[in-house]
Amino acid sequence: MNNQNKAQKQMIVGIKDTFFEIPPYQRLYEWGKDEIETLLDDMKKAWKPDDCQSDKSNEDSQKSSKQYFIGNITTSIDKDDSNKFILIDGQQRLTTLWFIGFYLASKKCGEWDNFIAQDDKLRINMPIRDKERDALESLAKKIQKHNKEEKLEISKDLQGIHKKIIDAFGCIESWFNENFSKDDNKKEIDSKRLNCFANFIYTKICFVFVELAPKTDLNRFFVRMNNRGKQLEKHEILKARILGVIQQGGGDWQKYAKIWDLCSDMNKYIFQSASDRNIFEKENKDKETPDKVESIVDFPAFLLHCYKLWVVKQCNENEIPKEITITKDRLLEIMWDNQANKGKNKEVILDGNFIFNIKNDTNRQAKENCKEFIIDMLYYRVLFDYFVIKSDVVAKGGDSYKIMRLNESKDNYSLPENSKKGSLQSGVLHDLVMIQNYLRVSRQGDRQNYHHWLTPFLKFLDNQICLEMDLSLMKNCEFDFANFKCGAKKIAKQFSKDECDERQKVLVRFLENLDTNLAIAQFKDSELLDETNEAIRQAQRLQPKTLENPTWDFLNNGTRTPHYWFYRLEYYLWKNGVENEENLKIKDKNFSVIRKNFYFRNLGSVEHFQPQSEPDKKWWLNDKSEMDTFGNLALISRSLNSLLGKQNLDKKEIDIAKEGNSESLKLVLMCCLKNLKNNDNAENKKISKAQEHQEQMTDILIKSLKSSLKK
């Protein structure tokens, strides 16, 4: 048998009897308007409209137009069907040409109706996307049977399938209306020009058709393709390998592929993604559901959080291997190769009971591990969507991070009543949003957006919340989308009850205790990973630790002061306020009102309240030795820092009081304090306003480290 790759130049006309299949590890169709129109524009530029002259035969026009190359299509022949090829690379490009073919076939151009489907069989099969496949099969049959004079409304036949595909068909139709209409009204297509262009695409658009050798190790090929900067990312390679193990073991891999796809779109709520795939009977058109949300972690990070939790469950909460970290660039080494990064001598992290890789499987456990992990991932993804904030990308105003819940009666997402603002006691769910917003900006992870707190929080949810919920339909190995909807409804009903407020108070308290323990670890220069792992093991019974007689000199470090402690102070200022705050004002705004409307944002610049350019003025400081002390510092955005610059305190107060500039409650308090007389204690000590403010703020921090003990 020839074990060499085959490569040949090919055109659409040359593959008119060839069928393709999109493998489960490939992404859903992702091209948008820009990519589709670029392909169409490029093909139109290569086409010569002169070829449509009436005195030219079709053969002459084919000769006069030059071929136009659009890239490679890499395939692997199906072992069970020599006329079917698995699409490895170039899927988006070929699928787009196929969608263009649907439009051209609907206009009865050439042989395109035979290209989109042949003998009731689609040219490109989507084995795990039943709804999409069925809709396109139905559309192909309708196109092949319809009369040219009849009006065909393609969009109606595609309702309820993946939105990107619907958008692609709409984009293609709009492009042809724009470029091939007879007049400016764009009501009638110039069929002669259209047929000529359609023939050009069919016979002159060429690509390199690569057929991989039969014995090609596809996993290694994926890695090489990924290393060359091609399309597959590490989590997609992992998906291919895990599904391959399930398929090799005779499992229902298509079911698990669907679950993986459902979980992978982190920038949608999972039941919203389910709705896109017609898990719900009716489309989600409610205006309350955000058009686009953004997760605080991406899918590779979420995979690693889930894997760590899966390992913890297998370990029965014993020692968690330190090598299992949320390090996205080592995703394959950790989850597939099961290797710690120890230089040249890589060490095995876990024994055979934990592996996914069937090649290293000595006890035939890999297949069951793969299946169990995917079901667990679905389980944690449901928890993530119900209890972890997402950003409403198109929301007006900066306070875009929210927790939305599935509306039991409408199949849409909306803000629960107990999450809406209105007073300082605005609802427990709003408190849960605020603590997570605080943790989002203060504990992102070392240069990676993975969040130290998320793994223990998901573990705590598993222990404390979900044991009271019926998720059997979610975890049932006979998983299907009808059961998934039923499970979604049960969860929605559970969390529409009033008593869920008490549960969510427990969640807030857990996150505060966790953050306090991490803060104390920072004080002691301990490893945060050790503290996080301990919190995962002890999630159900996590207790806040104590810190005796902390010293705060490290806060007096100017622009090098650690940002975390500013964020922590802001959280407890928002949560508890300050004494006599009803008397504190900045211009005409009361501090309590500013506090009520405060929200967290990413900040990156330490501001000196009394500017460094005026070190000798006794506006706020007694002398310049206090310039870099915590009492003269606040954490704000770089843009606000540029605005405030070298202004004196009065000018700063004016700008800070403006709408949208209350980025720091600490800075607002400094403005309020500068307008008040020193209190008796400060007067007796002859201390500066900066020192008075610093004592008040460090006292709040000290109390915050003890407050969890009293709950």
Per-residue pLDDT, 259? 86
Looking at residue 17, the DSSP 8-state letter turns out to be T
CA distances for 692 relative to 35, 649, 653, angstroms: 60, 17, 19
What tens digit of pLDDT does each residue of 525-535 get? 888 888 888 88
Look at residue 315 and tell me whether its pLDDT is greater than 70. yes
Per-residue pLDDT, 471? 45
Same domain, 304 and 405: yes
Residue type, 630: F
Distance, C-alpha 248 to centroid of its chain:
30
Mean pLDDT of 694-710: 84
Question: Is there a domain that residue 680 lies in?
Answer: yes
Question: Is there a domain that residue 537 lies in?
Answer: yes
pLDDT-derived band at 320, boundaries 50, 70, 90? confident
- pLDDT above 90 coverage of the chain, percent: 32
Q: List CB contacts of 483: < 8 A, sequence separation 6 or more.
A: 473, 474, 476
Same domain, 211 and 241: no
**Contact call for residues 555 and 698 (beta carbons, < 8 A):** yes
Q: Of 93, 106, 178, nearest to 136 (Cα)?
A: 106
The residues facing 211 across adjacent strands are 6, 75
What tens digit of pLDDT does each residue of 204-213 get? 999 999 888 8
| 95 or 292, which is more confident | 95
81-89 and 19-21 strand pairing: parallel
Provide DSSP, 532-568.
HHHHHHTGGG------SS---GGG--GGGS-HHHHHH
The residues facing 340 across adjacent strands are 347
Q: Of 321, 367, 366, nearest to 348 (Cα)?
A: 321
CA distance 280 to 284: 9
Question: Is there a domain that residue 678 lies in?
Answer: yes
The enclosing H or E element of 434 equals: helix 428-442
Same domain, 527 and 564: no
Question: Is there a domain that residue 228 lies in?
Answer: no
Mean pLDDT of 470-477: 45
Residue type, 96: T
Look at residue 280 and tell me whether its pLDDT is greater than 50. no
Look at residue 286 and tell me whether its pLDDT is greater than 70. no
**Of 174, 189, 216, at which residue does a domain stop?**
216
CA distance 330 to 336: 10
CA distance 470 to 460: 17
Per-residue pLDDT, 478? 47
Residue type, 326: I
Looking at residue 189, the DSSP 8-state letter turns out to be B
Distance, C-alpha 47 to centroid of its chain:
40
Domain residue limits at 99: 6-216
Contacts for 614-619 with beta carbons within 8 Å, 24 or more apart? Answer: 614/646, 614/648, 618/688, 619/648, 619/649, 619/674
CA distance 704 to 711: 12
Per-residue pLDDT, 201? 95
CB count within 10 Å of CB 79 equals: 9
The structure tokens listed for 542 are 């996590």
Mean pLDDT of 655-672: 86
Same domain, 84 and 185: yes
| 680 or 672, which is more confident | 672
Q: Is the dihedral of CA 103, 108, 114, 119 positive or negative?
A: positive
First-to-last alpha carbon distance for the chain, in angstroms, is 73
390-392 and 347-348 strand pairing: unpaired
What tens digit of pLDDT does each residue of 614-629 get? 877 777 888 889 999 9
pLDDT-derived band at 606, boundaries 50, 70, 90? very high
Per-residue pLDDT, 124? 94
Per-residue pLDDT, 277? 45
Per-residue pLDDT, 134? 86
Per-residue pLDDT, 223? 56
Per-residue pLDDT, 470? 46
Question: Is there a domain that residue 494 lies in?
Answer: yes
pLDDT-derived band at 465, boundaries 50, 70, 90? low
pLDDT-derived band at 392, boundaries 50, 70, 90? confident
What tens digit of pLDDT does each residue of 409-438 get? 555 666 665 455 443 334 678 899 999 999
pLDDT-derived band at 54, boundaries 50, 70, 90? low
The structure tokens listed for 37 are 């129109």
**Contact call for residues 579 and 711 (beta carbons, < 8 A):** no
| 634 phi, psi to nearest 5 deg | -150, 150
| Residue corresponding to tokens 């020009």 | 193
Per-residue pLDDT, 469? 41
Question: Is there a domain that residue 97 lies in?
Answer: yes
CA distance 498 to 249: 46
Per-residue pLDDT, 279? 36
Question: Is there a domain that residue 491 lies in?
Answer: yes
Question: Is there a domain that residue 221 lies in?
Answer: no
Q: Of 102, 97, 195, nearest to 140 (Cα)?
A: 102
Q: List CB contacts of 248: < 8 A, sequence separation 6 or more.
A: 358, 367
Mean pLDDT of 158-186: 86
**Of 164, 187, 216, at which residue does a domain stop?**
216
Same domain, 362 and 495: yes
Beta strands per DSSP E along 289-352: 293-295, 339-340, 347-348
Same domain, 141 and 30: yes
CA distance 662 to 671: 11
Per-residue pLDDT, 693? 94
* pTM of the predicted structure, to 2 decimals: 0.77
Same domain, 189 and 260: no
Same domain, 117 and 10: yes
**Of 541, 566, 598, at which residue does a domain stop?**
541
Burial degree of 660 (CB within 10 A; 0-12, 13-18, 19+):
exposed
Distance, C-alpha 127 to centroid of its chain:
25
pLDDT-derived band at 175, boundaries 50, 70, 90? very high
**Least confident range of 16-20, 301-305, 338-342, 479-483:** 479-483
Per-residue pLDDT, 317? 58
The enclosing H or E element of 261 equals: helix 253-264
Same domain, 516 and 625: no
**Contact call for residues 173 and 105 (beta carbons, < 8 A):** no
Number of domains comprising the chain? 3
CA distances for 233 relative to 21, 226, 328, 373, 565, angstroms: 20, 6, 11, 20, 36
**Least confident range of 36-45, 315-324, 483-492, 577-586:** 483-492
| 533 or 154, which is more confident | 533
Classify the phi-psi angles of 140: left when phi > 0, otherwise alpha if psi is within -120 to 50, otherwise beta. Answer: alpha
The structure tokens listed for 513 are 């205790």
Same domain, 482 and 589: no
Collapsed DSSP state (helix, strand, coil) of residue 227: helix
Same domain, 179 and 312: no
Look at residue 214 and tell me whether its pLDDT is greater than 90. no
What tens digit of pLDDT does each residue of 534-589 get? 888 887 778 888 888 788 999 999 999 999 999 999 999 999 999 888 889 888 88
Collapsed DSSP state (helix, strand, coil) of residue 81: strand
The structure tokens listed for 85 are 């090829």
If you average pLDDT over every residue of the chain, what do you get? Answer: 80
Per-residue pLDDT, 356? 80
Look at residue 340 and tell me whether its pLDDT is greater than 80. no
Q: List CB contacts of 31: < 8 A, sequence separation 6 or more.
A: 92, 95, 96, 164, 168
**Contact call for residues 565 and 701 (beta carbons, < 8 A):** yes
Collapsed DSSP state (helix, strand, coil) of residue 205: strand
Same domain, 595 and 664: yes
Look at residue 505 and tell me whether its pLDDT is greater than 70. yes
Per-residue pLDDT, 477? 40
What tens digit of pLDDT does each residue of 109-152 get? 999 999 999 988 999 998 777 778 888 999 999 888 876 656 66
